[in-house]
Amino acid sequence: MKQGDFKGSAHLCRVYGQAKDCNLLQGSPIPTFVIDETHTVILWNRACEHITGLSAAEIVGTNKLWKPFYSHERPIMADLIMSGATDEEINRHYGDIWQRSSTIDGAYESEDFFPNMGHCGTWLFFTASPLFDENGRMIGAIETLQDITARKRAEADLKTYRENLEELVRQRTAELAQAHDELLDKAAVLEQANEELSQYAFVASHDLRAPLRAVRNYADFLREELEQILSDEQLSYFAGLGSALRHGDELVTDLLEFSRIGNAVITTGPIALKPFLAEVSGRLEKLPEDELIVADSLPVVLADCTLLTQIFSNLIVNGFKFNHSPVKRVEIGIAEERNGVRELFVRDNGIGIDSRYHDRIFKMFKRLHTHKEFEGTGIGLAIVKKAVAKMHGAVRVESEIDKGSTFFVTLPTVENGEK
Ligand code: ADP
């Protein structure tokens, strides 16, 4: 039987005055089929043939609608509509994956996977609705199919991707938490090691003082006793011993000072720099011709008085020490704004520092000169750096050989506190 050849089809088309609509349905790109009241397939369009792989010749005129969709005989949605099935009956066949159409009265829609359709199965969205004659009598049902496989696969891929992503995030969060804990542990170990080191440096330098003093005393006694009988060369050994002992003493003193900063509980408060520097300068040993110029306008900083004294004493002393100018000059002032911060500066007209060593000089015992050239322990700038850091500040240097040096210090300041 050819489609359209039988009475039901003609009747349906006639009832709707849709003879040409039947032809239209044939050519429609939407897979569509129609059954009559005896559940016989009367229309199976070309799109339907294409999607199901079943030709109209094979199905039209039969009531084996289940064939392209299922492996066993059962009613499909159009059949259920045609037989006026109750919700329970529809549930029996479609579970909870169907619903009433929100746009077409009396129509049902659903989506399901059909493993026997296509190469790897096909996902279909299908809508079945009843067809009525002019007296409102149901005379058939029409069903349209939509291949939603690509969308479903994309959704499944997205779901897998999302689950993988969530798993990945879970894993990374756990790793991050673990790394964070490990870091905290390491920081605690480091802090303890640091504290022990500070304690050790403190004890070592403190305890070294007594034997050093004893050696110096015995050396003095010996020199006094033997002064008359020793040759000039032998006496010069004593001079060397004295200078080595002085150096040892300086080292111990500086080390002690350095370790004290680590252990110190600091008390910060507002300090007006102008009067503070006048006092520091008064306590420093300078030659009368040395010039210390302090700017008139300086801020009030939030600092610990002992640490601030160490910072400026060390910088000022260095400015005069590493200096061969006939008139040695150290200037203290406030620099132009840089990255939104106004730094304090300590500038000298001394020997300058090669830019290769600008970081190195802040490290313990790093000196660019021999003790003979310039006396010192190599701890002064390490003290400056540690003291500044302890007060949440920073220090840096700008300098060139033979062009003097400028040390820049940033410290928390009191707003509008310029004095
Ligand atoms: P010390 O003064 O005991 O040598 P510091 O830690 O204060 O130790 O300084 C480290 C080194 O940095 C010095 O030995 C010197 O080479 C260099 N330095 C520090 N301040 C200046 C300066 N104002 N001008 C030139 N060189 C300096």
Q: How far apart are CA 38 and CA 62, in angstroms?
A: 10
Q: What is the pLDDT of residue 12?
A: 62
Q: What is the pLDDT of residue 193?
A: 81
Cβ of 317 less than 6 Å from ligand 1: no
Q: How far apart are CA 214 and CA 138, in angstroms?
A: 122
- For the CA of 404, the closest atom of ligand 1 is 24
Contact assessment for residue 294 and residue 281, using Cβ atoms and an 8 Å cutoff: yes
Cβ of 377 less than 6 Å from ligand 1: yes
CA-nearest residue, atom 23 of ligand 1: 319
The structure's pTM equals 0.56
Q: Where are the alpha helices (DSSP H) in 42-86?
A: 46-52, 56-59, 77-82
Q: Which amino acid is at 229?
A: I
| 16 pLDDT more than 50 | no
Encode pLDDT of 29-67 as tens digits: 999 999 999 999 999 999 999 999 999 999 999 999 999
DSSP 17-54: T-HHHHHHHHH-SS-EEEEETTS-EEEE-HHHHHHHS-
Radius of gyration of the CA atoms of the chain, in A: 48
Cβ of 319 less than 6 Å from ligand 1: yes
Contact assessment for residue 391 and residue 412, using Cβ atoms and an 8 Å cutoff: yes
Beta-bridge mates of residue 124? 112, 147
Beta-bridge mates of residue 99? 109
Q: How far apart are CA 386 and CA 371, in angstroms?
A: 23
Encode pLDDT of 323-372 as tens digits: 999 999 999 999 988 877 889 999 999 999 999 999 999 998 888 888 77
Instruction: Give the pLDDT mean for 381-410.
Output: 94
Beta strands 41-44 and 32-36 are: antiparallel
Beta strands 300-303 and 269-272 are: antiparallel
Q: Structure tokens of 332?
A: 């203290």
pLDDT band with cut points at 50, 70 and 90 for residue 419: very low
Q: How far is the CA of 378 from the centre of ligand 1 (A)?
A: 7
Question: 146 or 192, which is more confident?
Answer: 146
Encode pLDDT of 142-167 as tens digits: 999 999 999 999 999 999 999 999 99
- For the CA of 254, the closest atom of ligand 1 is 3
CA distances from 104 to 129, 290, 343 (A): 7, 102, 78
Q: How far apart are CA 70 and CA 131, in angstroms?
A: 24
Q: What is the DSSP letter of 67?
A: T
- For the CA of 350, the closest atom of ligand 1 is 24
